[in-house]
Amino acid sequence: MASNKDRDLLAHVGPGTPMGGMLRQYWMPAAKSAEFKADGDPVRLKLLGEELIGFRDSAGRVGVMDHRCPHRCASLFFGRNEEGGLRCVYHGWKFDADGKCLDMANVPPHQDFKHKVHAKAYKTAERNGLVWVFMGDQANVPALPQIEATLVAESDNHIDMFMRECNWLQALEGDLDTSHVGFLHGGHRVVKDYQDDDVARYGVLRRDPEYALAETPWGATYGAYRPAGEGQTYWRIGQFMFPFWSITPSAPFGLQVYARAWVPLDDTHTMSFRIVWREGRMKGVKNETTDPNVALSSGKLLPNTTDWLGRYRLAANKDNDYLIDRDVQCTQTYSGIDGISQQDQCVTESMGSLTDWDFEHLAPSDRMITTMRRRLMGALKSVQDGARPPMADTPEVYYQARGGYFEAPEGIEMMKLYAQKVEETRATIPYAVAAE
């Protein structure tokens, strides 16, 4: 029986914690590329409990480093982003994107020891509009994960971000808890809300799915299944991918390429990176938004501030009860809260910043959550015994993970069906480029 002791082992991510050590061995999305302008303002970033700054140098390279200047610890956030590096405003020391000290301006040349000083910089990478950071062993940096959605060209993908005020595990678990969709997001829906050929209507006919689960090389796969048409089953297949990625079955299988990272900023704040490409013929689904203050999945955002935790905050939040409208709750929607992400934000943050595992009563509908916790705990134990974490050295395997819903003849084993669907739909997705 899992307890809060287990929870703390999995949820805490700061330097020196077991999970913090494991997560540092993975590449993590940290920002959108567009957040950093060449020679522009440094941006405060928080990742795994560390206070960092990010900037783009004159040549376009992104640097991410401890915000403290290695001279006397003044914050490089206030630095001058000058030709080829960031200069501390206290005594003028200058650092390039790799953390190398280029200039020790307040020390005479014969006393200069700049070749011995480094800012604490982390390896960065950019691909298709995302900035990635690797905070583990800087001498042994793995390749970026080949998660399908992250391979979609920047011109064709949509990346939206928002911050959730709870620990990363709790946020991730919301994506693996699929039975809530029929209540929180769709409890007000009835069959006639759906077109006759839309298999999603079976989710309304039965709000109590059963589950098939499989442990997979990338993490775990679930299929929530219900009876559908004569001799048919309605499947909703989703994924957990090490260490903090999910794919939810939020579209017909093959019409969407999707992944979400729940990146821990610290123990109680998490950034959602939702990366999606949708097939244009999907009805009623908005593919793009040009408003920088609107995240596609999460509605209005507050203006970003320069605070460590000031980026991508929802306008509907705990301070205004997520703008719940009790009249709407009585007459129109199940929750009375507008927007899928706001609804998720409300229930997940309302659980507290660290869910009390000693208080909860997990049900058969939570089997994917228990499977994911067990997979993470197993990985953590083997990492503590000296093993490499799952998937850290096999980035190409992520490419096999996809999610979605469909109807299929009853009685076929989930992973067999899954392999068939992946095979059938791989070629129909123009952006599903072969793994590099």
Residues making contact with Fe ion (CB under 5 A): 344
Ranges of H-type helices in 116-178 = 168-176
Compare residues 45 and 69 and give the one whose CB is closer to ligand FES: 69
Binding to ligand FES, residues 87-106 (CB under 6 A) = 88, 90-93
- Count of residues near ligand FES by CB under 6 A: 9
Compare residues 74 and 415 and give the one whose CB is closer to ligand FES: 74
CB of residue 43 vs ligand FES: minimum separation in angstroms? 18
Compare residues 119 and 237 and give the one whose CB is closer to ligand FES: 119
Residue 80 in contact with ligand FES, rule: CB under 6 A: no
Which of Fe ion, ligand FES, none interacts with 265 (beta carbon under 5 to 8 A by kind)? Answer: none
Distance, in Å, from the CA atom of 349 to the CA atom of 165, rounded to the nearest integer, reads 6
Phi (first) and psi of residue 333, to 5 degrees: -125, 160
Residue sitting closest to Fe ion (CB): 344
Which residues have CB under 8 Å from 65's CB, separation 6+?
Answer: 52, 53, 76, 95, 99, 119, 120, 121, 122
Q: What tokens were used for 260?
A: 């979400």
Long-range Cβ pairs for the range 222-230 (8 Å, 24+) = 222/176, 222/178, 222/367, 222/368, 222/371, 223/414, 223/417, 223/418, 224/178, 224/179, 224/249, 225/414, 226/202, 227/202, 227/410, 228/199, 228/202, 228/407, 229/407
Which residues have CB under 8 Å from 404's CB, separation 6+?
Answer: 236, 237, 249, 251, 252, 253, 254, 255, 256, 421
Which of Fe ion, ligand FES, none interacts with 93 (beta carbon under 5 to 8 A by kind)? Answer: ligand FES
Compare residues 136 and 174 and give the one whose CB is closer to Fe ion: 174
CB of residue 237 vs Fe ion: minimum separation in angstroms? 16
Helices 4-11, 367-384: axis angle to 10 degrees equals 70
Q: Which of 222, 272, 280 is nearest to 256 (CA)?
A: 280
- Cα-to-chain-centroid distance, residue 329: 29
CB of residue 25 vs Fe ion: minimum separation in angstroms? 29
Compare residues 92 and 129 and give the one whose CB is closer to ligand FES: 92
**Which residues face 258 on adjacent strands?**
276
Which of Fe ion, ligand FES, none interacts with 118 (beta carbon under 5 to 8 A by kind)? Answer: none
CB of residue 342 vs Fe ion: minimum separation in angstroms? 10
CB of residue 40 vs ligand FES: minimum separation in angstroms? 20
Distance, in Å, from the CA atom of 408 to the CA atom of 290, rounded to the nearest integer, reads 37
Query: Stretches 85-93, 165-173, 268-276, 295-303: which one binds ligand FES (CB under 6 A)?
Result: 85-93
Q: Is 156 exposed, middle or buried (0-12, 13-18, 19+ CB in 10 A)?
A: middle
Which of Fe ion, ligand FES, none interacts with 35 (beta carbon under 5 to 8 A by kind)? Answer: none
CB of residue 53 vs ligand FES: minimum separation in angstroms? 13
Distance, in Å, from the CA atom of 376 to the CA atom of 390, rounded to the nearest integer, reads 9
CB of residue 260 vs Fe ion: minimum separation in angstroms? 11
Strands 80-82 and 130-134, by their bridges, are: unpaired
Compare residues 90 and 194 and give the one whose CB is closer to ligand FES: 90
Total residue length of the chain: 436
Which of ligand FES, Fe ion, none interacts with 431 (beta carbon under 5 to 8 A by kind)? Answer: none
Q: What tokens were used for 248?
A: 């939810």
CB of residue 135 vs ligand FES: minimum separation in angstroms? 22
Binding to ligand FES, residues 60-79 (CB under 6 A) = 69, 71-72, 74
CB of residue 105 vs Fe ion: minimum separation in angstroms? 52
Which of ligand FES, Fe ion, none interacts with 344 (beta carbon under 5 to 8 A by kind)? Answer: Fe ion
Q: Kindly list the residues in this chain that would bind ligand FES in the complex (CB under 6 A).
A: 69, 71-72, 74, 88, 90-93
